[in-house]
Each structure stands twice: as structure tokens, then as C-alpha cells.
Amino acid sequence: MSRIHRLDRIVADQIAAGEVVQRPASVVKELIENSLDANARQISVHLLQGGQSLIEIQDDGQGIEPDDMALALERHATSKITVLSDLDHSPWLGFRGEALAAISAVSRLTLKSRLPTEPVGRLIRADGGHIRDQDLVAMAPGTVIAVSDLFYNTPARLKSQRSPAAEAGWIQHLVEHLAVGRPDVAFRVDSEERTLLKTPGRGDSHEALYQIYGRELGEALLPVDYTGMTGISIRGWIAPAHLHRGSRHAQSLYVNGRWVVNWILRQAVEEAYRPQVPDRRFPSYWLWIDIPGDAVDPNAHPTKDEVRIDKERQVAALLFRAVHDSLVQKSTAPELALDANIAHESSGEYDQAQWSLVPTESSPADGGILHQEFLELVPLAQWQAKYIIAQGPLGLYLIDQHAAHERLYFEELQRGKGQALVMQPLLVPYALTLTPLEWQALERYRPTFEDAGFEITGSGGTTVMVRSVPQGLRDLPDDPAVFRVILESLVSGTVQHDHPITWIEEPLFAMAACKAAIKAYRPMSHPEMVALIRNMARLVDPRGCPHGRPTLIRLSIEEVDRRFGRKG
Amino acid sequence: MQFTVDQNQLAQALSMVIRLVQQQNTMAVLGGVQLTASDSGLDVQTTDLFSVMTVKVRAHVIEPGTIVLPAATFNDLIHRLPTATVDVQVDPHSGKAVLKYGRNRATIHGFGNDQLPEFPTFGEGVVSVTLPAGTLTSFARQIIFACSKEESRPILKGIHIELGSGKVVLVSTDGSRLSHAWAALPDYRGPEMRLVLPAKILAEASRLDSSGQPIVVTFRDGFVQFATQDTMLTSRVLDGDYPDYQRVIPQDYQVQIRVPTADLRGSVERAHLIASKDRSNAVKFNHQIGLLQMTASAAEVGQAQEILECDSQGSEMEIMFNSTFIIDALKSFSGEEVMIEFSGVQSPARIRDAANSQYFHILLPLRQLV
């Protein structure tokens, strides 16, 4: 008797559904993508119990043809592609024809849809993938999908769900990403009776961000607009570094319009922020990356949020450059937020009077805004032998003398590294057997290694001989093992800079700078303070010390006026 | 266990052995010094498991026995005793040692019945040579500095010892420079041997010279032993292949320069002050017949120029070295004059004591990147 048999269609669908539908948020994602593909201008999501008892998604999209209603719930039924090669240029977010089928397999689903041309809509109900009944229904044009009792027939999955509040939180973050990505669509999320999120849908991503994240962030956003030589363009908004957060929820990357998660690209952006963001804190950014079409494979992952990107490193390098330049050019001194401020910030309500849509000031030709601020600073006194109090164009400034001086030394050391190098040939060459990945990294970066003073020859197979090492990489032993350390960091992908050897030295520069710089509790005379501030204005990147602490903070004159009850 | 011993002799013995005791030990007993009293006197022993050192001290033994005491405490106490002798009595059950000196006493808690791990003893089929007093001290001064300090190639942290054909040759290298020293062994008739000894052990062994006695060095598979009448240091050797160093020592030199050691050292040290401010640490040597010019520069600090008259032959040449390596080499010379020999701008150079041909140093010049 045969022991292998074909699975019942329902069971097979439930298993397949597990890949696509992992939690209520996955349902929301799939359905919103469907709505967006249907050219909806308004999408609203209603949740009960964090989506576990009900997820209802309503849109004003083009609707489903009455004859297609039943077919829409079948697996691999889609209107979006017909042959596989369509995928390469697919403008659609969904394309596999899996979402609705998968969701209906693990829930009780009600699908209502009306074409704009029809007088009434059609309704179809399915339980666990079985169609129960069909009917006519009165409704506005568009589609409404109600998913209730999610996972009612897959107890194991049901058990592993988190609390309703946690799921609602996930859904909120998810819709945040999608809503920012499509500012032309009005999004709304309600959980029980509360509105979690609402965007105006007027096509302005800055407006959407302001709505979602509130005034403090909305006003501080810095624009990024950068086009690389190979046709890759990067646009969007980044938050100044001092508004760092405890999670990565406020980070979105949209590659060719699709919201994606990509570790390497994320690293590149965070690297650009690194001098200013402390450990375990994360910057916020929303960036649209346009790469010529064929470079992206959206079909790499069942939930489609991890995409494969050709020339990933190149894109990462561009991202780093774009974000870094924007930060250096447009950062101002982080403003000191006083308690009263916190009370009326980020109420989340859209309040036209509170803000104008003018983005941050454009930068002067010579240096960034921060450079200009430093140039105009006049030191008043030293406070606690730790901070310099200075007055400047935008208010009162506190400068951390150690952080500032440390930055100064850091850049000096960095400059020094560019000087003509000397290499020490080895009497006894160092033989090293490389892994295939290390070999690849070496082949790719060989000229860089050679420019830095390494002399490397092959010795059969993947064994190489290090015959010379650079003399005096800062504080690094003149040791051939440094070569391996650099290779390993290249392989593990922790290097973002164009120059891997520089990268190796950077933490050492930071440490040396920290040691050399004046410490807290060191009294400073007025000329010393003037000199330090003048020098800061000449730095490439005066934002923070190499360890991520800011060099200065600002108390605005408006804030002080307000506190004293003077209405300017 | 009970014995009486001369305070001074015991203090000296402890000073020798305590250098093997590691600061941190996962085996507590390794932080101890083992005292063994027998008819032949008192043995003081420590080990770090890689090597073991035993010093014999004359003692009046009343009752034989063995005890391990915390090395640092015991050593510090013995050094501070006011009396010429000390009486030590150990209660075998409690493991406590009572030290009596004059009217005073101190009690030290030992490691009970724990003893230091045994080291294999040397049996038959061994090779041994006798080195005159002072030989190891010279070797240590001449070549230890050129050993590698890095972990990347552990074998280079050792000293290569080659025994045979009437002489013993010692070599050390850190990969960029090499030091070579030899001593005659006219009486040696045994087989040829090669081994790599940790630099630290050579340094410790050279301290045996303080007795002024010749040192007997015994070799056995994987072990070396250095012994004088009272003191014995036994160590494992390093595993691994030592690089073939012979081919990096040039046979012919195009330039030979003879200069007073002190003058050269002064010049290089001054140039080094500037050179060390630059990451490259480079000093340029420019040779013209009868003249040696040294220059160094650091972008943000300044330049140095030193000119020495010298006795020289060969072609004119400009060649660049790591100033630290030159100074290290010069420090090892005791003679009045040094010989510097260049074999080419990109080839190894040799530097040696003009009056002593028993040791020399090989340096590879630095190369400027364009």
C-alpha cells in the first residue's frame, strides 16, 4: 500500500499560507499592497484585538470584476502577471496570486467589491478557504475585505501570537512604512475606537512624516537628493542625528517604490550617522532609492520585504555618501528641549498653524550651517570647567570642550594618514591560506592593499605570501596579521568606507584623539576658547566627537523668551 | 617537616624561582613555591607548566617533607626577616608552616597536600654541552630584542638554536630583521640538533650566569635543561618549523662603512626623535666615500640632518631604515666601532661590532611608496 499521497488542497493551502501569513501584520501588508495595486486613493484599516479577531481593510480602488470574485480566492490567481518574465518589470507590489488565497485558508474572510461602473457590489464569504455563500450588497465603489478569527483553524500558529497591543503596534509601524512610501494615498488605521495613524494623502512625503511622527521630528527633517553617475538616485528625508531612537521602526528604505528591508543598505546609512549616534540607538530616515529596473529581484522572499539588489555595495556606498553629505552640510546644533516643550510636541494632530512646509535652510556655499554657526560663536565663559558657554546666531550654545577638542585631533590624525607611506619588506614572508570569500575580497581590493603598502604574491592555490607590510599604520603592529584582520572585516561586510585600511585605523584614531584632547575639569582661558571654536569651524565634520557624542547643544532665543513670558 | 636555613641564601633562591610564577593561575597550586626538605638539603621549586626551576639551598634538615606555600607571600616575608637564619616547621595535617626567626614567628597557610605537577625527568640518550660562564648573558643581550612580540607567528617568538660542527648558533627574527650569534664549542662531538626556545627562557637561563659557574645545557626531545651546581631550569621547546633564515643573509656587500659606535648611536637617536613623529619612523642613510649622512623628516615637526665621517669603501648609496631597528642593533654592541654593510638599496644590510665577528644583525631597508 502506498504511504505517500497527495495532500488535500485545503491542508496544502494552510501550509503555504504559513509562509506568507505569519501574523496579523502580514495580512495587513498583503491586503494594503493589493489596494495600492488597485489604484486606491484612500485606504483605511480597522482592527479589533490587534487584528486577531478582526482586520477590515477598505479602499476606493478599482474593485474586482464580479466574475472574478471566486477566482480571486484561489491560489496563483492574479491579474497582475501572466508570464514569469513580466516579473522583471512588474510595477505591482503583489504578483504571485498568493495573498488572498493564503489569508482565506487560515481565517473567516468576507470579500466585498464594487466596480465604479456597477450599481451594486458583490459579496463572497469563505471559511478556511471554503466558499460559503455569495450575494449582492450595497456599498461604495472599491473593495472591503474583512478577515476575522485569523488562524482559527491553525491552533499552533494561533498560540504563538503576541498580545493584541503588541500586534497592533506592529501593524501601526508597518502602515507607517507603507504610508510614508505612498504619500499620495490617504491612510488611516483605527484600533478598537482609537485612531493610531492618519495621513492626508496629498502626495507630499514630508507632510506624511509630519503627520505620523509629530512636530519635533517633522520640523527637523533634512532633505536628501542625490543622483549617482550610474543612474541610481537617492531622495528622501533624514532626521538629524540627535533625534535618535531606541528602535529601528522609524527607518524606511524604498527601492523602486517598494518598501524593503536590506541589511547592507541599512548599515550604510547608520554608518553615515555613526559619529553622532550612541551605541544601541538608531537614526531615523526615509529614503527612496531608484535603481534602473533590472537590478532588483523582488521575488527573493515569500513576504517580499527582502529584495535582492545588484551592485548592492555600490548602492550602499552612494547611500553613505548621500546621507553623510547631507548630515554634514545641514546639521545644526541640536536644540536643547525643555520640559514645557515636550508637553505639546508630537500630539500627532495635523495643525497647519504650527509649522510651515519650508524645509531646512539651504546651505551656504562654504561649509555647512554648523560651520557657519561655529564661525559666529562668541565664547562667554567656561562653566564647571567642562563646558564653554557661547552666544551665537541662533541662541545660547553649550560646547563640550573635550568632545570638540577630540574631534579636532581626530581629523588631524586622519589627515596625517594620507601622507606618503613607507613599506617594510619582510625578511620572512608571511604565508596565509585564504578562504574563497577572503580570496574574492583580496582580488577586488588588491590595488587598495598595494597602495597602502602591502606586497602580496600568490603562492599556488589560495595561499598568498605577504612580502611587505605598511610601516606604521597608526598604533597597529607592523605585523602581517593586520592583513588578515582587514581581509576578515572586508568579508564580514563591516566595512562601509571606500578604503578598508582607513577603516581599520579609524577606531585607533578615535582612541588616540580621546587621549590627546583636553579633558573635562581643565580650566580654559578666553583666548583658548576662541581658538578652539575657530578651529571647529574649519573641520570637515564638526558634528560630534568620534565616539558619537555631540560637540555642542543650543538653547534657542525663542525658547528663552517664551520661558520668561516675553512674546517676541 | 622541619628545617633551619640561612635567610640570605633562601631569599636569593626565591628571587630566582619566583619569576616563573604567573600572576593568574587557574590551578591555584601554580601560584605556590614548593619546598622539599631531604638529606641533601632544601629544594625550592616553581613552575608555569611550560618550564620548571629548582634551586638547591643548604639547610639543616631535622625532619624531611614537602610543602607548597603561596610564593609571593613567602618570598616577601623571607626577604624582610631580620635574623640570619630562619626555622621552618610544617604541620603535615593542617598544612600550616610556622616560621620562627629570633623571638618572633609567622604562620603561613600552605596548599595542604597539593604539590606542583611533576615534570618528566631526563633519561638516557641525551646530548649535553657546557657553556662558559657569561655565554648565555651575551647571547641574551645580542639577539633577544629581535624576537617577534606578536602572536601571529608564534614560532618567531622563539630563538632558533643550532648545535653542531664545533659551534652553537642562535638566531632570532621578527620577520623584518634578524639577529645571528654564535659561540665555539671545541669539545662538542655529539650529533647536530635544532630547536626553538622561547625568548623568555633564554632570558631566565642567562640569569644562571650570576653564579659565575659554567652552565651545562642538556637537550632531549622536546626539552632543554640549563643547570649549574645549585640551579636547574628545565623547559619545553616551541613546536613548529623555523623559517629558513640562511638565504636572507647576503654573501656579498657593495658598501662597507666603519664608524665609532657612540657617534653613530648619537646621530641616529637624534634623527629618530624627528623620525618617530612621522608614522614611517624612517631615517635615510646617504653614503659617499668617507661620509655618512643621515636625514629624517616629519611633515608637521621638522627635519634632522646628521653627518659622520667614516672609514668606508664601495659605491655611493642612499638607503632608508626603520630608526628603531638601527638603535636596537647599536645598543647590543659593546665595541668601539661598528661595521655597516649594504648589499643594495632594496636588499638586506648587515650591521656588526667591528671588533667581534661572533654576532651580527640583518635589516631590510624600507621602501618608499610612490
Specify the CATH number for the domain of residue A354. Answer: 3.30.1540.20
When pLDDT is cut at 50, 70 and 90, the band that residue A305 belongs to is low
**In-domain check, residue A3:** no
Length reported for chain A: 568
When pLDDT is cut at 50, 70 and 90, the band that residue A238 belongs to is very high
Length reported for chain B: 370
Check whether A287 has a pLDDT greater than 50: yes
Calculate mean pLDDT across residues A485-502. 62
Tell whether B346 lies on the interface with A, counting CB pairs under 8 A.
yes
Summarize pLDDT for B170-210 with one digit per residue, the tens.
999 998 899 999 999 988 888 889 999 999 999 999 999 98
Summarize pLDDT for A239-254 with one digit per residue, the tens.
988 788 888 888 999 9
pLDDT at residue A134, rounded to an integer: 86
Q: Contact, B271 vs B320, CB < 8 A? A: no
> Can you tell me whether residue B278 is helix, strand or coil?
coil
pLDDT at residue B123, rounded to an integer: 65
> Can you tell me whether residue A2 is helix, strand or coil?
coil
Specify the CATH number for the domain of residue A177. Answer: 3.30.565.10
Specify the CATH number for the domain of residue A313. Answer: 3.30.230.10
When pLDDT is cut at 50, 70 and 90, the band that residue A92 belongs to is low
- Return the residue in B318, B367, B368 with the most chain A beta carbons within 10 A, the one to mutate for interface testing: B367
pLDDT at residue A492, rounded to an integer: 67
pLDDT at residue B140, rounded to an integer: 94
**Better pLDDT: A218 or A336:** A218
DSSP state of A66: G
Could B367 and A423 be called an inter-chain contact, meaning their C-beta atoms sit closer than 8 Å?
yes
Find where cell 616560621 sits. B99
**Better pLDDT: A550 or A80:** A550
- Return the residue in A413, A415, A422 with the most chain B beta carbons within 10 A, the one to mutate for interface testing: A422
Domain finish residue from A202, A232, A257: A202
Check whether residue A416 and residue A557 sit in a common domain: yes
**In-domain check, residue A172:** yes
Chain B residues whose CB is inside 8 A of the A481 CB are 150-152
The alpha carbon of residue B91 is apart from the nearest alpha carbon of chain A, in Å, by 52
Chain B, nearest residue to A418 by Cα? B279
**In-domain check, residue A4:** no
Strand partners of residue B301: none
The alpha carbon of residue A429 is apart from the nearest alpha carbon of chain B, in Å, by 7
pLDDT at residue A245, rounded to an integer: 84
Tell whether B275 lies on the interface with A, counting CB pairs under 8 A.
no
Could A419 and B173 be called an inter-chain contact, meaning their C-beta atoms sit closer than 8 Å?
no
In whole angstroms, give the CA distance from residue B146 to residue A50: 70
All three cell numbers of B318: 642612499
Q: Contact, A76 vs A57, CB < 8 A? A: no
Summarize pLDDT for B226-247 with one digit per residue, the tens.
999 999 999 999 998 999 999 8
Window B:196-225, CB contacts with A under 8 Å: none
Check whether residue A158 and residue A194 sit in a common domain: yes
Half-sphere exposure of A278 (CA within 13 A, CB side): 7
When pLDDT is cut at 50, 70 and 90, the band that residue A89 belongs to is low
Check whether A349 has a pLDDT greater than 50: no
Check whether residue A161 and residue A226 sit in a common domain: no
Cα dihedral A354, A359, A365, A366, rounded to 10, equals 60
Domain count, chain A: 3
Could A426 and B348 be called an inter-chain contact, meaning their C-beta atoms sit closer than 8 Å?
no
**In-domain check, residue A537:** yes
pLDDT at residue B137, rounded to an integer: 94
User: What is the 3-state secondary structure of A539-564?
Assistant: CCCCCECCCCCECEEEEEHHHHHHHC
ipTM entry: 0.79
**In-domain check, residue A2:** no
The alpha carbon of residue A408 is apart from the nearest alpha carbon of chain B, in Å, by 16
pLDDT at residue A294, rounded to an integer: 64
Tell whether A474 lies on the interface with B, counting CB pairs under 8 A.
yes
Check whether residue A83 and residue A158 sit in a common domain: yes
Could B150 and A479 be called an inter-chain contact, meaning their C-beta atoms sit closer than 8 Å?
yes
Check whether A340 has a pLDDT greater than 60: no
Check whether residue A320 and residue A396 sit in a common domain: no
Chain B residues whose CB is inside 8 A of the A416 CB are 279, 299-300
Domain finish residue from A175, A202, A229: A202
When pLDDT is cut at 50, 70 and 90, the band that residue A344 belongs to is very low
Spatial CA neighbour of B233 closest among B54, B21, B42:
B54
The alpha carbon of residue A471 is apart from the nearest alpha carbon of chain B, in Å, by 5
Check whether residue A421 and residue A482 sit in a common domain: yes
Domain carrying residue A298: 214-330
Helical packing angle, A500-516 and A481-491, nearest 10°: 110
Domain finish residue from A265, A300, A330: A330
Check whether residue A22 and residue A81 sit in a common domain: yes
The alpha carbon of residue A275 is apart from the nearest alpha carbon of chain B, in Å, by 25
pLDDT at residue B324, rounded to an integer: 92
Domains of chain B: 2-109 (3.10.150.10), 127-246 (3.10.150.10), 249-363 (3.10.150.10)
Could A481 and B151 be called an inter-chain contact, meaning their C-beta atoms sit closer than 8 Å?
yes
The alpha carbon of residue B160 is apart from the nearest alpha carbon of chain A, in Å, by 14
Check whether residue A362 and residue A323 sit in a common domain: no
pLDDT at residue A354, rounded to an integer: 29
N-to-C CA span, chain A? 91
Amino acid at residue number B347 = S
Could A420 and B150 be called an inter-chain contact, meaning their C-beta atoms sit closer than 8 Å?
no
pLDDT at residue A201, rounded to an integer: 87
When pLDDT is cut at 50, 70 and 90, the band that residue A336 belongs to is low
The alpha carbon of residue A477 is apart from the nearest alpha carbon of chain B, in Å, by 8
Give the residue ranges of DSSP H helices in A395-480: 401-416, 436-452
Window B:300-339, CB contacts with A under 8 Å: 300, 320, 322
> How many other β-carbons are positioned within 10 Å of the β-carbon of residue B290?
12
In whole angstroms, give the CA distance from residue A420 to residue A409: 20
Amino acid at residue number A351 = D
Window A:414-433, CB contacts with B under 8 Å: 416-417, 419-428, 430
Spatial CA neighbour of B325 closest among B266, B365, B368, B279:
B365
What number of C-beta contacts closer than 8 Å exist between A and B?
Answer: 84
Which of A419, A421, A474 is closest, CB to CB, to B299? A419
Check whether residue A312 and residue A341 sit in a common domain: no
When pLDDT is cut at 50, 70 and 90, the band that residue A417 belongs to is low
Chain B, nearest residue to A429 by Cα? B175
Could B364 and A426 be called an inter-chain contact, meaning their C-beta atoms sit closer than 8 Å?
yes
Q: Contact, A131 vs A70, CB < 8 A? A: yes
Tell whether A475 lies on the interface with B, counting CB pairs under 8 A.
no
In whole angstroms, give the CA distance from residue B20 to residue B35: 15
- Return the residue in A465, A467, A471 with the most chain B beta carbons within 10 A, the one to mutate for interface testing: A471
Tell whether B89 lies on the interface with A, counting CB pairs under 8 A.
no
Spatial CA neighbour of A390 closest among A277, A519, A537:
A537
Check whether residue A119 and residue A191 sit in a common domain: yes
Chain B, nearest residue to A484 by Cα? B152
**Better pLDDT: A113 or A94:** A113
The mean pLDDT value of chain A amounts to: 79
In whole angstroms, give the CA distance from residue B56 to residue B26: 27
**In-domain check, residue A237:** yes
In whole angstroms, give the CA distance from residue B37 to residue B48: 22
- Return the residue in A409, A427, A450 with the most chain B beta carbons within 10 A, the one to mutate for interface testing: A427
Could B152 and A451 be called an inter-chain contact, meaning their C-beta atoms sit closer than 8 Å?
no
The alpha carbon of residue A420 is apart from the nearest alpha carbon of chain B, in Å, by 7
**In-domain check, residue A257:** yes
**In-domain check, residue A163:** yes
Residues of chain B whose pLDDT is less than 70?
Answer: 123-125, 370
Check whether residue A245 and residue A313 sit in a common domain: yes
Instruction: Using a pLDDT cut of 90, give the percent of chain A over it.
Output: 14
Which residues are CB-contacts of A517 (< 8 A; sequence separation ≥ 6)? A402, A405, A406, A408, A409
| pTM of the predicted model as reported, rounded to 2 decimal places | 0.64
Check whether residue A238 and residue A371 sit in a common domain: no
pLDDT at residue A511, rounded to an integer: 78
Residues B34-56, buried b or exposed e (16+ Cβ, 10 A)?
bbbbeeebbbbbbbeeebbbbbb
Tell whether A481 lies on the interface with B, counting CB pairs under 8 A.
yes
Calculate mean pLDDT across residues A202-210. 89
When pLDDT is cut at 50, 70 and 90, the band that residue A2 belongs to is confident
When pLDDT is cut at 50, 70 and 90, the band that residue A210 belongs to is confident
Chain A, nearest residue to B247 by Cα? A427
Q: What share of chain B is helix, strand, coil (3-state, %, to 5)?
A: 20, 45, 35
